[in-house]
Amino acid sequence: MHSFSAGRHILPEPERRQSVVTAVGIDDQKAAFEPVRAVQPPAGAPNVVIVLMDDLGFGTSSAFGGPCRMPAAERLADGGLRYTRFHVTALCSPSRQALMTGRNHHSVGMGGTTEMATSAPGYTGFRPRSAATIAQILQGNGYSTAAFGKWHQTPPREISAVGPFERWPTGEGFDAFYGFMGAEMNHWYPLLYQGTTPVEPDRRPEDGYHLSEDLADHAIDWVRTQRTLTPDRPFFTYLAFGASHAPLHVAPEWQQRYRGRFDHGWDRQRELTLARQKELGVVPQDAELAPWAEGVPRWDELGENQRALGVRFMETFAGFTEHADAQVGRFVAALEELGELDDTLFVYLLGDNGASGEGGIEGTVVEHRLGHGIVDDPDEMIAEIDAIGGPRTYPIAPAGWALALNTPYQWTKQVASHFGGTRDGLIVHWPKGIAERGGLRHQFHHVIDVLPTVLECAGVPEPASVNGVAQQPIEGVSMRYTFDAPAAADRRRTQYFEMCGNRGIYHEGWMAVTRHGTPWEMIPTAGRRFSDDVWELYDLDTDWTQARDLAHAYPDRLRALQELFLVEAAKHQVFPLDNRVTERENPTLAGRVDLLGARQSVTYRGRMRRFTEETTPNVKNRSHSIVADVGTTETGTGGVIVAQGGRFGGWSLYCANGYVCYAYNFFGLRLDRTRTRAPLPPGRHEIRMDFHYDGGGVGRGGTVVLTVDGEKQAEGRVPQTIPYYFSFDETLDVGVDLGTPVTDDYPEIDNEFRGEIHTVRIDLGEESPDDRAGGLHHRVMTSQ
């Protein structure tokens, strides 16, 4: 056990006064000066690696009995410990913020994802400075630190070239960062950041590029460099893959490894997984399959096309997952080659929430359709079956597979009440610090427990002050006590859960839960109050999987747990409960502070690019204009003037063979184009697109008018528009369309405008109350 140095409670370490100068010239200076040294880590502090997979679920990985082969996970588990009752929140950002801070997600303002933030205290999306991150603490104690992959904790309005950058990875304790900032990323055409600088890969999928491989490459290169330059300092590497979150993108050869392996369907897969889990001992021998989710068909109830698509979606998911784990294997091999693996505390989280049911009953080839309530027809999707997983799709699997991947538990991601949304496999590997190999640990733990575990293993105390800010208490409990004591009594006796109005409370072996919403119904309807929710009660000492509801048998115990939930929820800023999902992803509807405030006009210059939706004017559900001042020296000019979004939803103003065009892409389902009647002659021109919104609600249509130099050149219609968000990964770009193209009228690459763009101005029209609310259940919280 390490002894804590008193000097490590204040970070960064206060500067020491130098020796006094006693002479004018160096020849006469008698007293020696003390060299300036970097902060020294505690003696014997191990390296720390945290690897986080996305949207997996407890019954996904082969290391926990699932159907997705994950050899790296198996190797680390066989050489370390499997934690069988480890919990996360039920969504991405909240789990990551809890992991980084050791505090419950509402305690640090992350009650939902960053894109779902409101102005309520537990939901702002802003980490308070009183909750320093694990990277800040380790960095302040002499560690080298680097993060790679998915971040998803920075408020979206701060993801721009002007920051501020204090809530970016490099502002939260990481010396280096390479990855993406939002919920998900196209793995074929990613838009990434190196530190705070936007970058794009120099290869494309046809060159063999894939994001998961790229992230591992950068992580390996960084560790090798760190060990070469500063071998006396331990390192902390955070490697967070986009896999296996949508979009499910992987090369065909990885899909083909699973060809035919899921033909038996999701019902049978649950049975196979449970049997394997019992063999591994990650669930008890008497564990039962939890009840099937209402509204999800059984496999034998599906039609032929539904089953064929379902199989292909699952083959893609499994290949995507195994491929990501193979990159973990490469990273592990690099640590072993460097001689660092044995003294590295390697924490492998097999999910930041349960497997996602957001693909709905059918699954979809374009994820954002489901988020807006649009269900793909299997009889139409079947024509795209061979494209699933490739660059022209943005797929997510059906909810039935999510239920199977969460075996043996109920429900999915978003559902914080049931373990299908919150229980994931955890592997801890540290040969120099853990004697047992292949051990099982059944203590009840939560993602907030990772930070105090790392600090204890590193010999680092919980800081009292970081950067001059007094720290709020760490709410996690170290798991170090379990490393050498498999039968140790639980030290986490109470834990609340809440997400999107779904909620639960665990206390000393009992759990009370209530589910408010259905994960694939992301636009809630009015009428259902939280007070109407029905609570369930489970005795987890005798019912590992929440299979038998005891609410009617023990009403007094249920009532006591409900009261305990109220206490814990009030303590951690859970109230007011908010069940909105997609609606909160539009900042206007969510009621959070808009970066642009009341500005009705924004002017871009030159070739500005990489503007996220929350750093651009919100053109959705309202009339607006785009006015471009351009110049060209050629006849038949082409290229993009300005575009937002991409192949799976967005709009573009561009030139094709000299004609000015406006294209509106409605989730890849339809593309509406308007084109001028005459080509653009050489010279300087004002190009104007006026969109006259029909009004009467969100997602309505509008009329497009194109004007060149004051002369009306074309008029067209867009019958339906995207109401909430265009994309989580694509951006607004001036003079080019980065990522995927909005339209195939111009190529994926080399689509820059062939001319000069002086300015592009976006003007917003007035937004009526009906167009904001659209008749949907709507409770905007005003900013304080």
What is the longest distance spanned by two Cα atoms in the chain?
Answer: 93
pLDDT at site 479: 98
pLDDT tens digits, 688-723: 999 999 999 999 999 999 999 999 999 999 999 999
Statement: residue 768 has pLDDT above 80:
no
Contacts of 760 (CB under 8 A, 6+ apart): 603, 604, 605, 626, 627, 628, 629, 641, 642, 734
Token pair 């005795």: residue: 539
Q: Cβ-count burial of 464 within 10 angstroms (0-12 exposed, 13-18 middle, 19+ buried)?
A: exposed
The tokens 């021109």 sit on which residue?
A: 685
Q: How confident is the model at residue 775 (pLDDT cuts 50, 70, 90)?
A: very low
**What is the total residue count of the chain?**
784
Per-residue pLDDT, 778? 32
User: pLDDT by residue (tens digit) across 440-468?
Assistant: 999 999 999 999 999 999 999 999 999 99
pTM beyond 0.85: the answer is yes
Q: What is the mean pLDDT of residues 316-340?
A: 98
Q: What percent of the chain has pLDDT over 70?
A: 96
State the pLDDT at residue 234.
98
Choose the final residue of a domain: 425, 454, 483: 483
In a domain, 489, yes or no: no
Q: In terms of domains, do 679 and 573 share one?
A: no
Last residue of a domain, one of 564, 585, 606: 585
- Structural domain includes residue 263: no
CATH of the domain at 705: 2.60.120.200
Of the candidates 53, 107, 153, 151, the residue with the CA atom closest to the CA atom of residue 473:
107
| Continuous segment of H or E residues that includes residue 180 | strand 176-180
Examine residue 33 and state whether it is found in any structural domain, yes or no.
no
Q: Are residues 54 and 100 in the same domain?
A: yes
- Are 429 and 318 members of one domain? yes
Return the pLDDT at 19: 76
Average of pLDDT values for 320-342? Answer: 98
Which domain CATH number covers 518?
A: 3.30.1120.10
Of 783 and 209, the one with more pLDDT: 209
Rounded distance, CA 167 to CA 649, Å?
A: 28
What's the DSSP call for residue 36?
A: P
Q: Give the closest residue to 55 by CA, choosing from 421, 499, 582, 545.
A: 421
Q: At what angle do helices 92-101 and 450-458 cross, to 10 degrees?
A: 30
Do 517 and 470 reside in the same domain of the chain? no
Question: What is the spatial distance between Cα 544 and Cα 473, in angstroms, rounded to a whole number?
Answer: 31
Ramachandran region, residue 295 (left: φ > 0; alpha: ψ -120 to 50; beta: rest):
left
Report helix, strand or coil for 608.
Answer: coil
The CA distances from residue 17 to 24, 35, 36, 465, in Å, are 19, 11, 10, 21
Tell me if residue 58 falls in helix, strand or coil: coil
Instruction: Say yes or no to pLDDT of 781 above 60.
Output: no
DSSP H/E element including 273: helix 265-280
- Spatial distance between the Cα atoms of 192 and 220, rounded to a whole number of angstroms: 18
Tens digits of per-residue pLDDT, 734-753?
Answer: 999 999 999 999 999 899 99
Is 135's pLDDT higher than 90? yes
pLDDT at residue 769, as a whole number: 61
| Three-class secondary structure of residue 739 per DSSP | coil
Q: How far apart are CA 159 and CA 198, in angstroms?
A: 10
pLDDT at 355 over 70: yes
692, containing H or E segment: strand 683-693
State which residues form the domain around 473.
47-248+270-286+300-358+367-483
| Total number of domains in the chain | 3
- Asked which of 567, 585, 603 is the last residue of a domain, the reply is 585
CA distance 120 to 338: 47
Please tell me whether the peptide bond between 164 and the residue prior to it is cis, using omega within 30 degrees of 0: yes
In a domain, 17, yes or no: no
pLDDT for the residue 31: 86
- Over 80: is that where the pLDDT of 322 sits? yes
Does 3 have pLDDT greater than 50? no
On whether the CB atoms of residues 438 and 564 are closer than 8 A, the answer is no
Domain annotation covers residue 477: yes
Q: Give the pLDDT confidence of 7-50 residue by residue, as tens digits.
A: 789 999 888 777 788 899 999 988 888 887 888 999 999 999 99
| For residue 784, pLDDT beyond 70 | no
Among 587, 645, 590, which residue's Cα sits nearest to residue 618? 587
Cis peptide before 231 (omega within 30 of 0): no
Q: Is the pLDDT of residue 1 over 50?
A: no
Q: Let me know if residue 385 belongs to a domain.
A: yes
Is residue 41 one of the residues assigned to a domain? no
Is the per-residue pLDDT at 777 higher than 50?
no
**β-strands 639-646, 649-656: how paired?**
antiparallel
Cα 753–Cα 757–Cα 761 angle in degrees, nearest 5: 115
Helix or strand or coil: residue 769?
helix
Do residues 471 and 329 both lie within one domain? Answer: yes
Look up the CATH number of the domain holding residue 407. Answer: 3.40.720.10
Question: Residue 37 domain-assigned?
Answer: no
Which of 321, 331, 282, 239 minimizes the C-alpha distance to 82?
282
Q: In terms of domains, do 516 and 607 share one?
A: no
176 with 57, same domain: the answer is yes
Give per-residue pLDDT as tens, 402-450.
999 999 999 999 999 999 999 999 999 999 999 999 999 999 999 999 9
Do residues 572 and 645 both lie within one domain?
no
523 band by pLDDT with thresholds 50, 70 and 90: confident
Beta strand segments in 485-572, E: 494-499, 502-507, 510-514, 536-539
- What span, in angstroms and rounded, lies between the C-alpha atoms of 15 and 332? 37
| CA dihedral over 314, 320, 321, 322, signed as positive or negative | positive
- Identify whether residues 55 and 162 lie together within a single domain: yes
| Mean model confidence pLDDT for the chain | 95
Mean pLDDT in residue range 177-187: 97
pLDDT, mean of residues 604-630: 95
| 560 and 613 co-located in one domain | no
Q: To the nearest whole percent, how much of the chain has pLDDT over 90? A: 90
The amino acid that residue 728 corresponds to is F
- pLDDT classification of 5: cutoffs 50, 70, 90: very low
Same domain, 670 and 554: no
| pLDDT at 2 (0 to 100) | 47
Looking at residue 14, what is its pLDDT? 86
Sign of CA dihedral 216, 217, 218, 219: positive
| Rounded Cα–Cα distance for residues 644 and 542 (Å) | 54
pLDDT at 281: 98
Q: How confident is the model at residue 238 (pLDDT cuts 50, 70, 90)?
A: very high
- The DSSP symbol for 364 reads B
- The total of other beta-carbon atoms located within 10 Å of residue 117's CB is 27
Q: In the structure encoding, which two tokens stand for residue 197, read together?
A: 């600088």
- Shared domain for 548 and 625, answered yes or no, is no
